[in-house]
Structure 1
Protein backbone atom coordinates (compact mmCIF):
# COMPACT_ATOMS: atom_id res chain seq x y z
CA UNK A 1 0.00 0.00 0.00
CA UNK A 2 2.85 2.38 0.79
CA UNK A 3 4.44 1.86 -2.64
CA UNK A 4 1.11 2.50 -4.33
CA UNK A 5 0.72 5.77 -2.42
CA UNK A 6 4.28 6.75 -3.37
CA UNK A 7 3.66 6.07 -7.08
CA UNK A 8 0.35 7.97 -7.04
CA UNK A 9 1.97 10.88 -5.18
CA UNK A 10 4.85 11.03 -7.68
CA UNK A 11 2.50 10.88 -10.67
CA UNK A 12 0.27 13.62 -9.36
CA UNK A 13 3.28 15.76 -8.50
CA UNK A 14 4.47 15.48 -12.09
CA UNK A 15 1.07 16.69 -13.33
CA UNK A 16 0.91 19.54 -10.82
CA UNK A 17 3.46 19.95 -8.01
CA UNK A 18 1.78 19.80 -4.63
CA UNK A 19 -1.00 17.45 -5.72
CA UNK A 20 1.01 14.43 -4.64
CA UNK A 21 1.53 15.93 -1.22
CA UNK A 22 -2.23 16.33 -0.87
CA UNK A 23 -2.58 12.55 -1.33
CA UNK A 24 -0.20 11.92 1.56
CA UNK A 25 -1.82 14.70 3.61
CA UNK A 26 1.26 16.90 3.82
CA UNK A 27 -0.62 20.19 3.47
CA UNK A 28 2.20 22.64 4.09
CA UNK A 29 4.47 21.07 1.47
CA UNK A 30 1.54 20.91 -0.95
CA UNK A 31 1.08 24.66 -0.66
CA UNK A 32 4.83 25.23 -0.86
CA UNK A 33 5.32 23.25 -4.08
CA UNK A 34 2.15 24.57 -5.73
CA UNK A 35 3.21 28.11 -4.93
CA UNK A 36 6.75 27.48 -6.17
CA UNK A 37 5.39 26.07 -9.42
CA UNK A 38 3.04 29.00 -10.00
CA UNK A 39 5.72 31.59 -9.20
CA UNK A 40 8.18 29.83 -11.53
CA UNK A 41 5.58 29.74 -14.29
CA UNK A 42 4.79 33.42 -13.75
CA UNK A 43 8.46 34.42 -13.81
CA UNK A 44 9.64 32.39 -16.82
CA UNK A 45 6.61 32.21 -19.14
CA UNK A 46 4.74 34.99 -20.97
CA UNK A 47 1.62 34.81 -18.81
CA UNK A 48 0.02 37.89 -20.36
CA UNK A 49 0.27 36.42 -23.88
CA UNK A 50 -1.02 33.03 -22.74
CA UNK A 51 -3.96 34.66 -20.95
CA UNK A 52 -4.97 36.67 -24.02
CA UNK A 53 -4.73 33.73 -26.41
CA UNK A 54 -8.00 33.09 -28.24
CA UNK A 55 -7.77 29.30 -28.21
CA UNK A 56 -6.10 26.54 -26.30
CA UNK A 57 -3.97 25.59 -29.29
CA UNK A 58 -2.71 29.16 -29.58
CA UNK A 59 -1.81 29.17 -25.87
CA UNK A 60 0.09 25.91 -26.34
CA UNK A 61 1.95 27.37 -29.31
CA UNK A 62 3.01 30.36 -27.21
CA UNK A 63 4.10 28.03 -24.40
CA UNK A 64 6.14 25.83 -26.74
CA UNK A 65 8.04 28.85 -28.08
CA UNK A 66 9.52 29.61 -24.65
CA UNK A 67 13.28 29.10 -24.37
CA UNK A 68 14.68 25.79 -23.16
CA UNK A 69 16.05 27.14 -19.87
CA UNK A 70 12.58 28.26 -18.78
CA UNK A 71 11.08 24.88 -19.65
CA UNK A 72 13.85 23.05 -17.79
CA UNK A 73 13.32 25.25 -14.73
CA UNK A 74 9.65 24.29 -14.63
CA UNK A 75 10.53 20.62 -15.16
CA UNK A 76 13.04 20.84 -12.31
CA UNK A 77 10.33 22.06 -9.94
CA UNK A 78 8.12 19.15 -11.04
CA UNK A 79 10.88 16.59 -10.49
CA UNK A 80 11.82 17.94 -7.06
CA UNK A 81 8.15 17.88 -6.00
CA UNK A 82 7.73 14.30 -7.25
CA UNK A 83 10.92 13.15 -5.53
CA UNK A 84 9.91 14.81 -2.27
CA UNK A 85 6.43 13.28 -2.45
CA UNK A 86 7.91 9.80 -2.89
CA UNK A 87 10.31 10.28 0.01
CA UNK A 88 7.51 11.53 2.24
CA UNK A 89 5.13 8.75 1.16
CA UNK A 90 7.73 6.08 1.94
CA UNK A 91 8.26 7.56 5.42
CA UNK A 92 11.93 8.48 5.05
CA UNK A 93 11.37 11.89 6.60
CA UNK A 94 13.18 12.61 9.86
CA UNK A 95 10.02 13.27 11.87
CA UNK A 96 7.96 10.32 10.59
CA UNK A 97 9.29 7.66 12.96
CA UNK A 98 7.74 9.06 16.15
CA UNK A 99 10.63 8.27 18.50
CA UNK A 100 9.13 10.13 21.46
CA UNK A 101 7.78 6.96 23.09
CA UNK A 102 4.16 7.19 21.97
CA UNK A 103 2.25 4.43 20.22
CA UNK A 104 2.85 4.17 16.47
CA UNK A 105 0.83 2.66 13.65
CA UNK A 106 2.06 -0.76 12.49
CA UNK A 107 1.24 0.17 8.86
CA UNK A 108 2.56 3.71 8.38
CA UNK A 109 4.69 4.22 11.51
CA UNK A 110 3.19 7.57 12.45
CA UNK A 111 2.04 8.54 15.93
CA UNK A 112 -1.38 7.34 17.02
CA UNK A 113 -4.12 8.83 19.09
CA UNK A 114 -4.64 6.40 21.97
CA UNK A 115 -8.45 6.85 21.91
CA UNK A 116 -8.99 5.76 18.29
CA UNK A 117 -9.38 2.21 16.98
CA UNK A 118 -7.83 3.15 13.62
CA UNK A 119 -4.87 5.16 12.39
CA UNK A 120 -6.04 8.64 11.42
CA UNK A 121 -3.12 8.90 8.95
CA UNK A 122 -3.53 5.75 6.84
CA UNK A 123 -6.92 4.49 8.18
CA UNK A 124 -5.47 1.09 9.13
CA UNK A 125 -7.62 -0.76 11.65
CA UNK A 126 -5.79 -1.29 14.95
CA UNK A 127 -6.10 -4.48 16.95
CA UNK A 128 -6.40 -3.92 20.70
CA UNK A 129 -3.45 -5.15 22.75
CA UNK A 130 -4.09 -8.15 25.05
CA UNK A 131 -4.06 -6.01 28.22
CA UNK A 132 -6.68 -3.66 26.72
CA UNK A 133 -9.17 -6.40 25.73
CA UNK A 134 -12.19 -6.50 28.05
CA UNK A 135 -12.58 -9.63 30.15
CA UNK A 136 -15.46 -11.82 29.01
CA UNK A 137 -17.65 -13.34 31.72
Structure 2
Protein backbone atom coordinates (compact mmCIF):
# COMPACT_ATOMS: atom_id res chain seq x y z
CA UNK A 1 0.00 0.00 0.00
CA UNK A 2 2.86 2.39 0.68
CA UNK A 3 4.25 1.84 -2.83
CA UNK A 4 0.89 2.66 -4.33
CA UNK A 5 0.68 5.76 -2.17
CA UNK A 6 4.20 6.79 -3.21
CA UNK A 7 3.40 6.34 -6.90
CA UNK A 8 0.19 8.30 -6.53
CA UNK A 9 2.01 11.10 -4.68
CA UNK A 10 4.68 11.24 -7.40
CA UNK A 11 2.07 11.29 -10.16
CA UNK A 12 0.12 14.07 -8.52
CA UNK A 13 3.32 16.09 -8.09
CA UNK A 14 4.13 15.75 -11.78
CA UNK A 15 0.70 17.16 -12.67
CA UNK A 16 0.90 19.95 -10.07
CA UNK A 17 3.92 20.24 -7.79
CA UNK A 18 2.76 20.20 -4.19
CA UNK A 19 -0.29 17.99 -4.81
CA UNK A 20 1.62 14.84 -3.84
CA UNK A 21 2.65 16.47 -0.58
CA UNK A 22 -1.01 17.19 0.16
CA UNK A 23 -1.67 13.44 -0.18
CA UNK A 24 1.13 12.77 2.32
CA UNK A 25 -0.24 15.56 4.56
CA UNK A 26 2.97 17.56 4.45
CA UNK A 27 1.30 20.96 4.24
CA UNK A 28 4.38 23.20 4.41
CA UNK A 29 6.17 21.42 1.58
CA UNK A 30 2.96 21.41 -0.46
CA UNK A 31 2.66 25.17 -0.12
CA UNK A 32 6.35 25.69 -0.89
CA UNK A 33 6.39 23.55 -4.04
CA UNK A 34 3.10 24.95 -5.34
CA UNK A 35 4.19 28.52 -4.63
CA UNK A 36 7.56 27.97 -6.29
CA UNK A 37 5.97 26.42 -9.37
CA UNK A 38 3.35 29.15 -9.71
CA UNK A 39 5.88 31.95 -9.23
CA UNK A 40 8.25 30.48 -11.84
CA UNK A 41 5.26 30.01 -14.16
CA UNK A 42 4.21 33.63 -13.72
CA UNK A 43 7.77 34.82 -14.33
CA UNK A 44 8.58 32.72 -17.42
CA UNK A 45 5.33 31.90 -19.23
CA UNK A 46 3.82 34.31 -21.79
CA UNK A 47 0.88 35.40 -19.64
CA UNK A 48 0.17 38.54 -21.69
CA UNK A 49 -0.32 36.53 -24.89
CA UNK A 50 -2.52 33.98 -23.12
CA UNK A 51 -4.78 36.64 -21.63
CA UNK A 52 -5.05 38.33 -25.03
CA UNK A 53 -6.30 35.05 -26.51
CA UNK A 54 -9.34 35.22 -24.20
CA UNK A 55 -11.12 32.66 -22.05
CA UNK A 56 -11.20 29.00 -22.94
CA UNK A 57 -14.71 27.96 -23.97
CA UNK A 58 -14.01 25.21 -26.49
CA UNK A 59 -11.47 22.60 -27.40
CA UNK A 60 -10.16 24.72 -30.29
CA UNK A 61 -9.43 27.66 -27.98
CA UNK A 62 -7.69 25.36 -25.50
CA UNK A 63 -5.58 23.95 -28.33
CA UNK A 64 -4.75 27.48 -29.49
CA UNK A 65 -3.56 28.50 -26.04
CA UNK A 66 -1.54 25.30 -25.65
CA UNK A 67 0.11 26.05 -29.00
CA UNK A 68 0.97 29.57 -27.84
CA UNK A 69 2.49 28.14 -24.65
CA UNK A 70 4.58 25.60 -26.58
CA UNK A 71 5.85 28.11 -29.14
CA UNK A 72 6.55 31.03 -26.83
CA UNK A 73 8.12 29.22 -23.89
CA UNK A 74 11.90 29.14 -24.08
CA UNK A 75 14.13 26.23 -23.12
CA UNK A 76 15.15 27.70 -19.74
CA UNK A 77 11.53 28.08 -18.65
CA UNK A 78 10.77 24.52 -19.69
CA UNK A 79 13.85 23.32 -17.78
CA UNK A 80 12.93 25.18 -14.58
CA UNK A 81 9.31 24.02 -14.63
CA UNK A 82 10.30 20.41 -15.40
CA UNK A 83 12.97 20.43 -12.69
CA UNK A 84 10.53 21.71 -10.06
CA UNK A 85 7.93 19.10 -11.06
CA UNK A 86 10.50 16.28 -11.04
CA UNK A 87 12.00 17.32 -7.70
CA UNK A 88 8.52 17.59 -6.16
CA UNK A 89 7.62 14.13 -7.50
CA UNK A 90 10.75 12.49 -6.10
CA UNK A 91 10.42 14.30 -2.76
CA UNK A 92 6.75 13.40 -2.32
CA UNK A 93 7.43 9.76 -3.23
CA UNK A 94 10.20 9.50 -0.62
CA UNK A 95 8.02 11.23 1.98
CA UNK A 96 5.17 8.80 1.21
CA UNK A 97 7.53 5.86 1.71
CA UNK A 98 8.56 7.25 5.10
CA UNK A 99 12.07 8.42 4.31
CA UNK A 100 12.30 11.63 6.27
CA UNK A 101 15.13 14.14 5.78
CA UNK A 102 18.10 13.81 8.10
CA UNK A 103 17.96 10.02 8.27
CA UNK A 104 17.84 10.13 12.07
CA UNK A 105 16.31 6.81 13.02
CA UNK A 106 17.70 6.60 16.54
CA UNK A 107 15.11 8.47 18.57
CA UNK A 108 13.71 7.82 22.01
CA UNK A 109 10.20 8.58 20.77
CA UNK A 110 8.18 5.87 19.09
CA UNK A 111 7.28 6.42 15.46
CA UNK A 112 4.46 5.27 13.23
CA UNK A 113 5.40 2.32 11.01
CA UNK A 114 3.31 3.77 8.16
CA UNK A 115 4.19 7.50 8.00
CA UNK A 116 7.29 7.63 10.22
CA UNK A 117 6.12 10.55 12.37
CA UNK A 118 6.28 10.61 16.15
CA UNK A 119 3.24 9.16 17.88
CA UNK A 120 1.70 9.22 21.31
CA UNK A 121 2.29 5.85 22.96
CA UNK A 122 -1.04 6.03 24.80
CA UNK A 123 -3.08 6.01 21.56
CA UNK A 124 -4.05 2.91 19.61
CA UNK A 125 -3.68 4.76 16.28
CA UNK A 126 -1.38 7.28 14.62
CA UNK A 127 -2.96 10.71 14.86
CA UNK A 128 -1.13 11.76 11.66
CA UNK A 129 -2.17 9.05 9.21
CA UNK A 130 -4.81 7.16 11.30
CA UNK A 131 -2.98 3.83 11.01
CA UNK A 132 -4.08 1.36 13.67
CA UNK A 133 -1.16 0.51 15.96
CA UNK A 134 -0.62 -2.79 17.67
CA UNK A 135 -0.19 -2.51 21.44
CA UNK A 136 3.39 -2.84 22.60
CA UNK A 137 4.03 -6.14 24.32
CA UNK A 138 5.69 -5.83 27.72
CA UNK A 139 9.20 -7.21 27.88
CA UNK A 140 9.46 -10.65 29.38
CA UNK A 141 10.79 -10.46 32.90
CA UNK A 142 13.60 -12.81 33.65
CA UNK A 143 14.30 -13.83 37.18
CA UNK A 144 17.87 -14.63 37.97
CA UNK A 145 17.68 -17.35 40.56
Give the TM-score band, short-chain normalised. Answer: 0.7 to 0.9
Larger deviation, residues 54-63 vs 30-39: 54-63
- Once the 2 structures are TM-superposed, how far is the Cα of residue 96 of structure 1 from its aligned partner? 7.2
Which of 38, 58, 72 in structure 1 is aligned with 2:64? Answer: 58
Count of aligned residue pairs for this structure pair: 131
CA distance in 1, matches of 2:137, 2:36: 49
- With normalisation by structure 1, the TM-score equals 0.83
> Aligned with 1:52: secondary structure?
helix
2:109 aligned partner: 102
Which of 123, 126, 133 in structure 1 is aligned with 2:133? Answer: 126
Alignment gaps of 5+ in structure 2: 55-60, 139-145
**CA contact under 8 A between 1:24 and 1:89: conserved in structure 2?**
yes
- Aligned pairs (5 A) from 1:35-114: 35-54=35-54, 55-65=61-71, 66-94=73-101, 99-114=106-121
The Cα RMSD (Å) is 1.9
- Once the 2 structures are TM-superposed, how far is the Cα of residue 97 of structure 1 from its aligned partner? 5.5
- With normalisation by structure 2, the TM-score equals 0.79
